[in-house]
Amino acid sequence: MSAECRQLLERMGPAGTQKGTIAAARVHLLLGDLEAATALRAHAAPAVHVRGRVTIAVLDALLAAAAGHEHRATDHLENALATAAPWSLRRPFLVEAGVLRPLLERRIETGTAVPGFALELLERTSDESGADTEPGARSSTRSPNVNGPCCATWPARCRMRRSPPSCTCR
């Protein structure tokens, strides 16, 4: 971790909320400080709502993967998938698309309680990573029609009414 990043994190001080603690853990993990990320995660209180439980399970999967514990990482990912699927909660997975894609592939190969949801996320992570399409291009599964998605950010932004002006999902 660069000295500038470390100084900034130290100046920020400890997080005052659970979301702040989880966000700080993610920042430390992104900067390669697994020890600090794990310590912060250990201090986070259990989440009481679905989005929080999914976000924490995704973070636990990322931490386990970074520590080299692939089996534990896919177990945490399964927990996140099973919790998120009934609510169609995709954003916590898509935010970490590049890192989660290999874990998601392994989870699907070994079996999951929610295969349809997991396969949809796998497809979306390929879209999010840019591996299958050029920036701004639509994949063939994202055609504009009444019953389907019409923009690259569907459904996360369209359902929240923050879609691009050209989006016809509204």
What is the model's pLDDT at position 134?
35
Domain co-membership, 121 together with 151: no
Tokens of residue 82, six digits: 């099973």
Domain co-membership, 41 together with 110: yes
Domain co-membership, 150 together with 72: no
- Domain, as residue range, for 156: 139-170
Domain co-membership, 105 together with 151: no
CATH code: domain of residue 87:
1.25.40
What is the model's pLDDT at position 85?
97
Domain co-membership, 71 together with 11: yes
**CA separation (Å) from 20 to 23, 122, 134, 144, 151?**
5, 28, 34, 38, 31
How many folded domains does the chain comprise? 2
Q: What is the DSSP string of 11-35?
A: HH-S-SSHHHHHHHHHHHHHTT-HH
What is the model's pLDDT at position 145?
30
Mean pLDDT by 10 residues, the chain (170 residues): 75 84 91 93 91 96 96 97 96 93 95 96 75 36 35 44 42
Contact 38, 63 (CB under 8 A): yes
pTM: 0.71
Q: For residue 166, give the DSSP letter.
A: T
Domain co-membership, 73 together with 155: no
